[in-house]
Structure 1
């Protein structure tokens, strides 16, 4: 996307970012830094804390109205142990696209929305090499509504400015 003039800093940014994300699930930060190496296992796609809390990375896609573009949030969802283990069992299997969606709880604070931690999600496994798609379905939550109905370019700018400048 071409650049934009930011209403918060009044500077021209060369690019309009269309995807933001979290490196770790929020729960990761509840573990003191000096204990993380002993208590947390992770990759760019999954995270396990204390062998009891299971997280998978996914992507929330929000369509931009009157456009082919989507605005994305790379997020983490918590899954049950059973769902997590199943997702890992089929991770490298091309047939994983036939998996039913895994119920989860969002474990990422998404800027520009009221509290998003622990809202209901479904994690849809995609083709090999593609990050799972996360469907938010918390009734009446603005993120659920925007994922279903789409957002305007003005809203894209608001979200980008919120991420860039708080």
Structure 2
């Protein structure tokens, strides 16, 4: 059980009805972004020259460095969290340290980064203010697993939800319109 905050004792499998297909779904969902938002700021015809990208890392204009991390939001009573694959901006030094260790155990990797995406239910217009540039602690994991992103203390609904968990009803509301 990936439960960093201890909110789920004796938990069960999460279930919901997909709003897209109407079928019941079992298991906590995981969603992610293929590229950092800043990637889309680059004109399509310039991306080949300005962007170095793979599924785990992205460098834009040689001075913007991103890695893909998991950001888990515990669902109270569920065995597994709602998991987001998010892009985190790192310093050049931290990025190189992470990239040098890809494929090996990175459990000792710990850096500060900044969230660079929006999430349904947490966007500026939804509640709580912008997610862009929320500070996160990036913590490495064993080989084969993406690093984890833990939001730093701040008065933002996403920070509270990552630390305290969300109800089944909240989780269902967040994922009901997301494709599976």
TM-score interval, normalised by the smaller of the two chains: 0.7 to 0.9
Q: Does 1:103 align with 2:116?
A: no
User: Partners in 2 of 1:25 and 1:138 — Cα distance?
Assistant: 23
**Structure 2 residues not aligned, in runs of 5+:** 1-13, 124-129
* Correspondent of 1:15 among 14, 22, 25: 25
Which one scores higher on RCO, CA 8 angstroms, separation ≥ 6?
Answer: 2
User: Partners in 2 of 1:45 and 1:123 — Cα distance?
Assistant: 14
Tell me the CA shift for residue 161 of structure 1.
2.4
* Correspondent of 2:94 among 83, 86, 91: 83
Equivalent residue for 2:159?
144
Deviation track 1:69-104 (CA, whole Å, cap 9, x = no partner) reads: 21011100000001001111222332x2122x2111
User: Partners in 2 of 1:81 and 1:5 — Cα distance?
Assistant: 40
Deviation larger for 107-116 or 125-134: 107-116
Deviation track 1:6-62 (CA, whole Å, cap 9, x = no partner) reads: 4xx7x6233256111111011111101111111000110000001110000001011
Q: CA RMSD in A?
A: 1.8
User: Partners in 2 of 1:159 and 1:127 — Cα distance?
Assistant: 29
SS of equivalent residue, structure 2 residue 38: helix
Output the TM-score relative to the length of structure 1: 0.88
SS of equivalent residue, structure 2 residue 122: coil
User: Partners in 1 of 2:18 and 2:111 — Cα distance?
Assistant: 40
Contact 1:58 1:77 in 2 (8 A): yes
Equivalent residues in 2 for 1:32-111 (5 A)?
32-94=43-105, 96-99=106-109, 101-111=110-120
Count of residue pairs brought into register by the alignment = 159
User: Partners in 2 of 1:155 and 1:54 — Cα distance?
Assistant: 33
**Structure 1 residues not aligned, in runs of 5+:** none
Contact 1:3 1:12 in 2 (8 A): no
More helix by share: 1
